[in-house]
């Protein structure tokens, strides 16, 4: 019996959807749902693609999605796995070698490449040294060599000359200005010479025992990469190392993490707003169905049948809306991508199917979370209502209403952040604050009612106040809805400003675009003089001593750290150690103290490294520098702005301690395009100097930030839309009552002006109070986020308090006034007959 | 007061004894009491009344505004629960059933016609008439509803929404809906209350005609004596008790 009758209910529900849609009852609900679904889909899709794309940008830095590096050709076993994986692959061989050109000879970092190199990223070349460069998809043809610009003066050659590498003569055809995969440890470069893999045998450089690094670049879909990684598990030799693009660059990573957090927060805010709109719309939906429910009960429908019918109607609606919603989300995201075509990586991967599903499911979760509680009231509609219309079911329990909506928010938040603890804390705190605020509001409203009802005041004021106070539950809900809307928008606005400021600060106009490395101690004063003479803005000249961290508190560093941390780069390679009397500008001490003058045997450690290796203040660190041991105790732990394009260091010592070791100096400076010729002079002047051009990298980061700003602003737009929806649904939710009251007042002789004052006055008041609440809430949230999430300084935002209440009064006042036009215009008799 | 109470109840119980022997009552109430809590204190609306209405009989309940007519109708139809006393519908005691079982019983045996029509605004005439059948899960809902709408003269207006129909037409839809599930009992609450005299007259004609054709028991609540007189029996609700009105009483009735 049951299944057939449920089926019947279902088909009846379906007919209700159609009938209500035809009657124009559902548009607000449909819009709210559409909003929730499309925004969550668009954001899920966009951040999925962005994440993939950023992964790609990071991939450019290693030239592939994944790299297997080894000191020799890969074993047959590994090569077989790679071949069967169907991933794109290209092999690169790098080795230091001496190149000859006539009388001149120079140590170079030679690189042999195959035709698909690089799989991710690009190289830029110019027809000659310091000429304009363009990106290229070519690689040097067999018999050709491409040289880094600074090699030309060092060897005294020009394009068309020949150089000898090992046993092979190569013709110089181009200058190579950029390899995006040359990031990483750029302090120890010799200048580049690139040639074709075909010539590698002929050079005869690769002999047993020679220092050669083989890299197998791999690129393809995430799934395939993952498969290969699993297949290779345990098959890699000791020297063979697998590198992911995820391990990539810190300078990009921090900005990206923040952007993702921001997008997540903003979309969450939009979803909550859509949820509020849904709650309001379903409330009205339910209230307008009290009569229907009563009649159906009267005609023999059981409680369950009636509930199934109406909840079924809503669920069907959600499912039906989910499809265009997901499609709209996809279009939105595609539009965004189209808009950003110029600055997004050309090669934006297609998103997976998961975000589509997540978007649709978000809509349904939001609907159930925010819309179910008001609907459940329908089962308590008494059939007696057909005879006595004043019988209204008890209002939905606040516990149920707020409990369900908070649970759905918690569920979504948990899904989006993946952090259970944070979600729980956030939701509980939110619930607590919500409870306190709504309690205060309710008490205030009731007090208002009592003090107001005793005093003589104009009729329309009294009526307005009475309605607000009498329906204190509904009024509180409305106030909260407005407050949350303003709050969400204010928070996103504040964060956007902070975010942009932060980025702007990291990448100011004259961000250093050159790193000068390998400045010998004897050349430092010459170098300084050159910079002063040419009026080049060069700050922060740092000494560099190369050394390896060997012991922590006397224990071998490999024993001292957990197994997972043993792969940490800092343990596997030499670190750049420096000394400084003062704390570098962009660094901040978070634990311990910067040293006083005269303090020796101490070191300041970068925070992330300290965390990874479990280093605390007072720990004794031992370094191996040029075959000698050096010990120092940890005096302070610092945070470093990796994205600042300034030289950054894991370890900083006081002056004096390192001076007896072999040292070279490092500097970063800014040089405008038109002054770049000066570099020729600098290189001729100081021939051992190594110059690293960061222009392309900075441009890349700038592009990414620009695209982020557009994404952020698109989010703000979406939020604004959601806010308008909330307002519309709040106004709509009380329109029946207002219409009736307005018609009564009109029919009793009230003027339109009185009506306008009464209706708009109420909205202005609501807007003002919501603005105040929102200002307080925003202040609190920003304080929490800045101190706990973003680690930014906090200061009170006075402008919030000054602008939000009047803005709220204005916005709500106007939209309320627009919304109740019907109340003012409609003839009273029509309304009274209708209701 | 006390005296009068016992007198009336003995009177009606005598009457019910007479009828009980022959045909089972379609609607019956014993010692029916309804009190409600109002701001001014407890208010007794029905104070232990008894009632028997035979299958096929038509009975009008009259009384002044606020005498509790609608309350009584709600109780008899199982829309509400009495404070004490028993109510039987088609031989089944309903005051002991829960709301859902009463709803089922209503769906099977009871039809309603209301003063305010109580049509679902978002359903067409046809869909409104189909509703009780659909709720009962009947497969012939559409054909049956069409047939009834044709019988009440609305065969041409099946796809109209209530708003597009006149008051009289809306009440016709309500009548079609009431008879759609072939009920044994029809409760009518001021069925002409929202209609002009002429339309009301036609509606009443229709109501009684369909009632006769279906041999339905009719319980009609009204304050219109002319309408009440068309019923087999007229009962006056006064001070929470029912009293049979004889023809001589009817002469003096307001």
Domain boundaries, chain B: 56-81+92-252
The pLDDT score that the predictor gives to residue A149 is: 84
Chain B's closest residue to A3, CA to CA, is B137
The answer, yes or no, to whether residue A192 has pLDDT greater than 80, is yes
Please judge whether B137 and A384 are an interchain contact, meaning their C-beta atoms are less than 8 angstroms apart: no
Chain A interface, best mutation among B38, B107, B177, by max A CB count within 10 A: B107
Q: For A221-259, how does the pLDDT look when each residue is reduced to its tens digit (9 = 90+)?
A: 878 888 888 888 777 776 677 776 654 445 555 666 666
Residues of chain B whose C-beta is under 8 A from some C-beta in A? 70, 73-74, 77, 79-80, 99-100, 103-108, 110, 112, 114, 118-124, 127, 131-132, 134-137, 161, 177, 181, 189
Question: CB-side exposure of B174: number of CA atoms within 13 Å?
Answer: 31
Tell me what the mean pLDDT of segment A479-508 comes to: 79
Burial class (CB in 10 A: 0-12, 13-18, 19+), A35: buried
The pLDDT score that the predictor gives to residue A466 is: 73
Secondary structure class of B37 (helix, strand, coil): strand
Q: For A324-350, how does the pLDDT look when each residue is reduced to its tens digit (9 = 90+)?
A: 888 888 888 787 777 666 555 555 566
Q: Which of A135-144, A444-453, A799-808, B10-19 has the lowest mean pLDDT?
A: B10-19
Chain B interface, best mutation among A13, A29, A287, A299, by max B CB count within 10 A: A299
- Residue A301 with chain B: CB contacts under 8 Å: 103, 107, 135
Give the closest residue to A785 by CA, choosing from A505, A495, A588, A501.
A495
Please judge whether A8 and B134 are an interchain contact, meaning their C-beta atoms are less than 8 angstroms apart: yes
Mean pLDDT of chain A: 79
Q: For A552-578, how does the pLDDT look when each residue is reduced to its tens digit (9 = 90+)?
A: 888 887 776 665 555 555 565 667 888
Q: Which of A395-409, B197-211, B214-228 has the lowest mean pLDDT?
A: A395-409
Tell me what the mean pLDDT of segment A406-432 comes to: 79
- Residue B103 with chain A: CB contacts under 8 Å: 297, 300-303, 383
% of chain A beyond a pLDDT of 90: 8
Q: Which of B73, B79, B137 lies at the smallest CB-CB distance from A8? A: B137
Of residues A466 and A110, the one with the higher pLDDT is A110
Tell me what the mean pLDDT of segment A618-646 comes to: 85
Please tell me which of A82-96, A207-221, A715-729, A748-762 the model is most confident about, judged by mean pLDDT: A82-96
DSSP string, A460-520: HHHHHHHHHHHTHHHHHHHHHHHHHHHHHHHHHHHHHHHHHHHHHHHS-TT---EEEEEE-
- Give, as one character, the DSSP assignment of residue A257: H
The answer, yes or no, to whether residue A680 has pLDDT greater than 90, is no
- Residue A304 with chain B: CB contacts under 8 Å: 100
- Residues in a beta bridge with A174: A146
Q: Say yes or no: domain B56-81+92-252 is CATH 3.40.50.300.
A: yes
CA-CA distance, A487 to A490, in Å (whole number)?
5
Of residues A418 and B129, the one with the higher pLDDT is B129
pTM of this prediction? Answer: 0.68
Max distance between CA atoms of chain B, in angstroms, equals: 57
Chain centroid, CA B33 distance in Å: 19
Of residues A286 and A457, the one with the higher pLDDT is A286
Of residues A185 and A696, the one with the higher pLDDT is A696
Secondary element (H or E) of residue B221: strand B217-221
* φ/ψ of residue A163, rounded to 5: -130, 160
Q: For A753-764, how does the pLDDT look when each residue is reduced to its tens digit (9 = 90+)?
A: 777 777 788 888
% of chain B beyond a pLDDT of 90: 30
Please judge whether B79 and A304 are an interchain contact, meaning their C-beta atoms are less than 8 angstroms apart: no
Who's near B177: CB < 8 A, 6+ residues apart? A299, B111, B119, B128, B129, B131, B132, B145, B148
The answer, yes or no, to whether residue B44 has pLDDT greater than 70, is yes
The pLDDT score that the predictor gives to residue A146 is: 94
- Residue B100 with chain A: CB contacts under 8 Å: 302-304
Secondary element (H or E) of residue A280: helix A250-287
Q: For A269-300, how does the pLDDT look when each residue is reduced to its tens digit (9 = 90+)?
A: 778 888 888 888 888 888 888 888 899 888 88
Residue A608 tokens, joined: 């992330």
- Residue B160 with chain A: CB contacts under 8 Å: none
Residue position matching structure tokens 């006390």: B2
Q: For A623-633, how does the pLDDT look when each residue is reduced to its tens digit (9 = 90+)?
A: 988 888 889 99
Please judge whether A300 and B103 are an interchain contact, meaning their C-beta atoms are less than 8 angstroms apart: yes
The pLDDT score that the predictor gives to residue A418 is: 67
Question: pLDDT band at A359, cuts 50/70/90?
Answer: confident
The pLDDT score that the predictor gives to residue A27 is: 83
Question: pLDDT band at A430, cuts 50/70/90?
Answer: confident
- Residues in a beta bridge with A544: A664
Please judge whether A299 and B131 are an interchain contact, meaning their C-beta atoms are less than 8 angstroms apart: yes
Please judge whether B181 and A300 are an interchain contact, meaning their C-beta atoms are less than 8 angstroms apart: yes
Tell me what the mean pLDDT of segment B68-92 comes to: 90
Of residues B50 and A518, the one with the higher pLDDT is B50
- Please tell me the distance in Å from A8's CA to the nearest CA on chain B: 7
Q: Which of A291, A296, A304 lies at the smallest CB-CB distance from B131? A: A296
Q: For B235-249, how does the pLDDT look when each residue is reduced to its tens digit (9 = 90+)?
A: 999 888 888 886 555
Tell me what the mean pLDDT of segment A467-480 comes to: 77
Task: Please report, for residues A282, B100, B105, B123, the alpha-carbon distance to residue B120 in angstroms, rounded to integers and kept in the order given.
Answer: 18, 21, 21, 6
Chain B interface, best mutation among A22, A26, A300, by max B CB count within 10 A: A300
- Residues in a beta bridge with A175: A126, A147
- Please tell me the distance in Å from A399's CA to the nearest CA on chain B: 26
The pLDDT score that the predictor gives to residue A196 is: 93
Please judge whether B104 and A8 are an interchain contact, meaning their C-beta atoms are less than 8 angstroms apart: no
* φ/ψ of residue A722, rounded to 5: -60, -40
Q: Which of A15, A291, A300 lies at the smallest CB-CB distance from B106? A: A300
Tell me what the mean pLDDT of segment B178-196 comes to: 88
- Residue B134 with chain A: CB contacts under 8 Å: 8, 12
% of chain A beyond a pLDDT of 70: 82
How many CB atoms neighbour CB B64 within 10 A? 12
Chain A's closest residue to B163, CA to CA, is A834
Mean pLDDT of chain B: 83
- Residues in a beta bridge with B186: B111, B218
Q: Is A300 left (phi over 0), alpha (psi -120 to 50) or beta?
A: left
Chain B's closest residue to A383, CA to CA, is B79
- Please tell me the distance in Å from A779's CA to the nearest CA on chain B: 46
Residue position matching structure tokens 């120890």: A188
Give the closest residue to A277 by CA, choosing from A396, A410, A364, A366.
A366
Tell me what the mean pLDDT of segment B21-34 comes to: 82
Tell me what the mean pLDDT of segment A779-797 comes to: 76
The pLDDT score that the predictor gives to residue B59 is: 93
The answer, yes or no, to whether residue A446 has pLDDT greater than 80, is no
Q: Which of B70, B107, B189 lies at the smallest CB-CB distance from A299? A: B107
The answer, yes or no, to whether residue A791 has pLDDT greater than 80, is no
The answer, yes or no, to whether residue A301 has pLDDT greater than 50, is yes
Please tell me which of A473-477, A734-738, B110-114 the model is most confident about, judged by mean pLDDT: B110-114
- Give, as one character, the DSSP assignment of residue A787: I
The answer, yes or no, to whether residue A86 has pLDDT greater than 80, is yes
């Amino acid at each position: 019996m049951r299944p057939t009758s449920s089926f019947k209910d279902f088909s009846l529900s379906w007919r209700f959807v159609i009938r209500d849609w035809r009657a124009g009852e559902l548009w607000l609900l449909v819009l709210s749902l559409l909003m929730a679904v499309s925004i969550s889909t668009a954001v899920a899709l966009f951040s999925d693609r962005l994440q993939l794309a950023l992964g790609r940008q990071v991939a450019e830095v290693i030239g592939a999605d994944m790299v297997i590096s080894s000191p020799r050709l890969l074993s047959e076993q590994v090569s077989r796995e790679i071949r069967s994986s169907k991933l794109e692959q290209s092999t690169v061989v790098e080795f230091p070698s001496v190149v000859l050109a006539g009388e001149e000879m120079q140590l170079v970092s030679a690189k042999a490449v195959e035709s698909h190199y690089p799989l991710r990223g690009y190289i830029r070349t110019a027809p000659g040294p310091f000429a304009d460069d363009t990106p290229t998809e070519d690689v040097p043809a067999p018999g050709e060599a491409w040289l880094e610009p600074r090699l030309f003066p060092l060897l005294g050659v020009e394009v068309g000359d020949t150089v000898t590498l090992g046993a092979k003569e190569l013709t110089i055809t181009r200058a190579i200005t950029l390899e995006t995969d040359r990031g990483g440890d750029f302090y120890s470069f010799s200048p580049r010479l690139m040639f074709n893999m075909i010539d590698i045998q002929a050079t005869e450089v690769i002999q047993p025992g020679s220092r050669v690094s083989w890299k197998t670049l791999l690129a393809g879909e995430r799934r395939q990469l993952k498969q290969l990684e699993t297949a290779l598990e345990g098959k890699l030799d000791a020297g063979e190392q697998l590198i992911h693009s995820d391990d990539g660059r810190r300078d990009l990573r921090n900005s990206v993490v923040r952007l993702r957090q921001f997008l997540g927060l903003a979309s969450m805010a939009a979803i909550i707003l859509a949820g509020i709109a849904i709650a309001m719309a379903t409330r009205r939906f339910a209230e307008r169905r009290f009569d229907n429910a009563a009649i159906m009960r009267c005609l023999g429908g059981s409680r369950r049948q009636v509930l199934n019918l109406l909840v079924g109607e809503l669920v069907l609606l959600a499912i039906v809306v989910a499809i265009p919603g997901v499609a709209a989300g996809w279009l939105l995201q595609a539009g965004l991508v189209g808009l950003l075509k110029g600055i997004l990586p050309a090669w934006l991967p297609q998103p997976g199917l998961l975000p589509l599903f997540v978007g649709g499911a978000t809509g349904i979760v939001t609907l159930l979370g925010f819309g179910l509680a008001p609907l459940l009231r329908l089962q308590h509609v008494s059939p007696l209502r057909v005879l006595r219309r004043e019988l209204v079911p008890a209002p939905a329990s606040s516990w149920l209403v707020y409990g369900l909506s908070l649970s759905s928010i918690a569920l979504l938040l948990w899904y989006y952040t993946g952090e259970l603890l944070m979600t729980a804390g956030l939701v509980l705190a939110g619930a607590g604050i919500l409870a306190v605020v709504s309690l205060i509001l309710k008490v205030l409203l009731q007090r208002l009612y009592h003090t107001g009802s005793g005093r003589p005041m104009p009729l329309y004021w009294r009526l307005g106040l009475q309605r607000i106070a009498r329906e204190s539950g509904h009024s509180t809900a409305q106030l909260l809805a407005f407050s949350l809307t303003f709050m969400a928008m204010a928070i996103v606005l504040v964060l956007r400003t902070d975010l942009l400021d932060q980025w702007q600060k990291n990448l100011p106009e004259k961000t250093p675009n050159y790193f000068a490395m390998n400045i010998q101690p004897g050349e430092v004063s010459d170098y300084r003089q050159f910079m002063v003479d040419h009026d080049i803005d060069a700050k922060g000249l740092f000494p560099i001593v190369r050394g390896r961290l060997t012991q922590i508190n006397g224990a071998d560093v490999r024993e001292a750290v957990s197994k997972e941390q043993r792969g940490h780069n800092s343990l596997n390679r030499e670190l750049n150690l420096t000394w400084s009397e003062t704390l570098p500008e962009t660094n901040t001490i978070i634990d311990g103290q910067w040293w006083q003058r005269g303090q020796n045997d101490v070191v300041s450690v970068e925070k992330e490294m300290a965390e990874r290796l479990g280093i605390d203040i007072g720990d004794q660190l031992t370094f191996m520098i040029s075959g000698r041991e050096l010990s120092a105790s940890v005096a302070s732990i610092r945070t470093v702005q990796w994205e600042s394009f300034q030289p950054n260091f894991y370890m900083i010592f006081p002056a004096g301690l390192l001076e007896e070791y072999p040292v070279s100096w490092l500097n970063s400076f800014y040089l405008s395009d038109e002054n770049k010729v000066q570099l020729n002079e600098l290189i001729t002047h100081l021939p051992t100097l190594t110059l690293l051009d960061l222009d392309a990298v900075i441009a890349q980061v700038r592009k990414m930030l620009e695209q982020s700003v557009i994404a952020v602003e698109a989010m703000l737009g979406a939020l604004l839309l959601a806010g308008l929806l909330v307002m519309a649904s709040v106004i709509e939710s009380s329109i029946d009552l207002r219409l009736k009251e307005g018609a009564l007042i009109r029919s009793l002789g009230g003027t339109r002006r009185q009506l306008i004052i009464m209706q708009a006055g109420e909205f202005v008041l609501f807007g003002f109070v919501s603005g105040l609440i929102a200002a307080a809430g925003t202040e609190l949230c920003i304080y929490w986020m800045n101190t706990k999430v973003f680690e930014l300084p906090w200061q009170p935002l006075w402008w919030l308090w000054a602008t939000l209440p009047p803005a709220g009064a204005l916005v709500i006042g106007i939209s309320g006034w627009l919304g109740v036009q019907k109340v003012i215009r409609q003839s009273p008799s029509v309304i009274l007959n209708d209701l | 007061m006390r005296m009068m109470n016992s007198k009336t109840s003995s009177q009606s119980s005598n009457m019910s004894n007479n009828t009980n022997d022959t045909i089972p009552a379609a609607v019956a109430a014993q010692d029916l009491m309804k009190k409600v809590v109002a701001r001014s204190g407890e208010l007794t609306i029905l104070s232990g009344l008894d009632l028997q209405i035979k299958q096929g009989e038509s009975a009008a309940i009259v009384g002044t505004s606020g005498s509790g007519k609608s309350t009584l109708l709600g109780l008899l139809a199982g829309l509400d629960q009495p404070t004490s006393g028993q109510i039987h519908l088609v031989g089944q005691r309903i005051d002991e059933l829960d709301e859902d079982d009463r709803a089922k019983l209503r769906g099977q045996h009871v039809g309603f016609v209301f003063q305010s029509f109580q049509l679902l605004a978002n359903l067409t005439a046809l869909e409104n008439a189909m509703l009780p059948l659909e709720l009962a899960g009947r497969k012939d809902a559409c054909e049956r509803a069409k047939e009834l709408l044709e019988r009440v003269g609305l065969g041409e207006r099946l796809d109209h929404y209530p708003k597009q129909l006149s008051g009289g037409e809306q009440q016709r839809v309500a009548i079609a809906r009431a008879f759609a599930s072939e009920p044994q009992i029809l409760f009518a609450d001021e069925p002409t209350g929202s209609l002009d005299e002429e339309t009301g007259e036609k509606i009443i004609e229709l109501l009684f005609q369909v009632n006769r054709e279906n041999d339905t028991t009719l319980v009609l609540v009204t304050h219109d004596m002319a309408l009440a007189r068309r019923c087999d029996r007229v009962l006056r609700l006064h001070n929470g008790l029912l009293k049979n009105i004889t023809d001589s009483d009817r002469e003096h009735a307001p």
